[in-house]
Structure 1
Amino acid sequence: MILASAALAPPASAADGEVTFTNGGVTLHGTVVAPPGGTKLPGLVMVHGSGAHSREDYRDQAEAFARQGIATLIYDKRTEGYSQFERSYSTLADDALAAVEALRKRPDVDPARVGVWGLSEGGWVAPLAASRSADVAFVVTVGANGVKPAQQQAWAVENQLRRLGMDGSVVRMASSTMMRQLVGGGVFPEAYYDPVPVLKSLRRPVLGLWGAKDVLTPPGEALRIFEESVAQHTLRVFPDTQHQLRRTTDGFDKLPGYAPGYLELVGSWVQHPPAVSSADAPPAQDRPSVEITPLRWYETTWLQLAVAALLLVAFAWYPLFRRGPAARPARWLSATGLLAVLGFLGVDVLIQLTMGRSLGPVLLGRPLPWLVLQLLSVGVVAAAIGTAVAWWRRRSLRLGVLLAGGVLFVPWALYWGLLNV
């Protein structure tokens, strides 16, 4: 059930106060946006989503909350110890708690009514902060996840690729195999963080908000997990709304303005958190998210890199060490093998960097470069068979090395989806 939209009161000039606070030797800077002349105000610390963020990214919401009588602290997210390859939810939670402490010290704030608000990644961090301190009176989450980060990211990647018209092996490779390799290679920090134990430990009111058309967080699963895990909850779904509760047509575009009723709901709920739990029906998902399992021994990232290197050496061996007449199947195996391996490495990087947007037209559910790679892979297998015949006749070391590459290519290509439908 959504509260009816109501116009916020005209903005009285907010009283801004600059604050600094420290966690783990890092000094963070923020601003408290509060109604002027207020006393015994509830307080709200806004915790960032993933990536680099400054306090200005949340100022419009902070000003809206201030107009409803809430002192809101926004701050610049730490850069030390936080990057694509390094982050700690524990450290981010302690940053939020340091902000809570700073806000509770303000004379116009009621220290018993200060809570945290978290968007996306902040939906993992804010509950963790609240679970660590009785000073946090309540929790508000927007687009929070009930599943682990790697599982959420795999679901989001698949959404993006399917939006581009892709299907089949390329989607499975990008959303499962590639994701598991990134996690196993250590380039996806906090991939297996489980939010459920923290949610179950919370003993304070939680307001959870989701957009029905969220394509980054699996919203139906998240709402169900929150409902089952959080003792005192108010869970709401906004139709025609995306991950950040912006208006949208399909979950991918972002129209001006927030979901009608969102800002007002947060303001009224923070002022008077209800004692009785309630939840909207979970929004529909076209498919569930799938857990990302750890790599088995033969899938380890270093082994996969070694196999790719061996394939390149084997396929390049034949033309580099050419002696005597060349066998036609061997020439084809060398050429198609090199093109398939190098081409796959390039496509893999492009998918990671652009979520598939730079792969060109899609034919038969496959982007054109992937379709070409699959045809090349079939050519590699056919050429390997011909090379095996030539090697049997000549028993040449040069052909043997090339053939070994052709044989190794088959399980490698099956693993990465190049020989799959």
Structure 2
Amino acid sequence: MRALILVMDSVGIGAAPDASLYGDEGAETVGHVARTCVLGQADSNQREGPLRIPNLVDLGLGEACRLATGRVPPGLDGANISPQQFGCASELSKGKDTPSGHWEIAGVPVPFDWGYFPRTIPCFPSKIIERLCKEAALPGVIGNRHASGTEIIDSLGERHMRSSEPICYTSADSVFQIAAHEETFGLERLYDVCAVARRLLDPLNIGRVIARPFVGSSKGGFRRTAHRRDFSVPPPEPTILDACEVDGRDIVSIGKIDDIFAHRGTGRNGRGDSNDALFNCTLDGLNSLADGGLLFANFIDFDTLYGHRRDVAGYAAALEAFDARLPELMARLKSDDLLVITADHGCDPTWSGTDHTREQVPILLRSSAQTSPIGKRVGFSDIGATVAAHLKLAPLRHGVPF
């Protein structure tokens, strides 16, 4: 008897009830990707035809979309899907960011507002930058604005390599990102700078400091690497991971889960530089997961490579690639295992801007013990509560088991 939580990062299924407060009323990541593919409006050089994700459909993704929006996206109709198998949830936490979504999935809604940086140039407080340069022995920083990571690295990468000034930027999330060249600046030095920034930004309640290493030699040839590291604040309360650790359970975390939870209760971690590599790590982790254990995985490509870059064709291809590998996972599950597939927020690639979108998320289950319909849930914490009940752990403070 084991439990798995797979987070398809940013795979939202329709605007949350409070989406208008975020400028996201009408956002619908999965639905808009599916409709764009059917209409042939996705880049024809990258794909042709409708979205094909039969395994997710069989798990109830289309019906979860119906719960969230009142309609099933084109091509996602499925027959004889049990209501015990699918549902949807809207977030209680105020942010539409990665830590808030994951913490709430793990049973801890975020009760406070994160700190954010203004859309000015420069956007970071001068005293923070002065202290960062002094304490991290930097000649200065460049960027200092809201930006797309790939674009600002392409624009300022050559200057950074000449001057050793790291590229600092932010987004609509509560985040301070530092990009530096792995070879000319050094990976460990970048991590050290981020650790200093993490300490300096704690009083501002900034959720994450992210190291964004890259390689390449000139504009147009820079590429971010898989050595990203998030320096996050820890969750304010015990999560399902903490509950498992306290009870001596086996824990496997995949991808950036260990960073998101500030390496608290995250057990053995598997890393990969793509969704495909992360799926391999998930299979390996499942093979070694002891009875009573928890595997918690994040699949990041949907969000980072395609959602933020507003690449509909790429997003569709990523969904299809993930779907194609699900049978491998299903074949390795034991009869009493619980599998939950969900998401942490949306990032509609048809939406304006490059930020996350405030959306409901799917809840897709594979469980022989499931007996009652999941339906529409208020809060993601019901997922953590269900996992705790399945693993026969003490109930979490938040959430109601399905």
> Do the two structures share a fold, i.e. TM-score over 0.5?
no
The structure having more radius of gyration, on CA atoms, is 1
- Structure with more of its chain in helix, by fraction: 1
TM-score normalized by the length of structure 2: 0.29
Relative contact order higher in (CA < 8 Å, ≥ 6 apart) = 2
TM-score normalized by the length of structure 1: 0.28
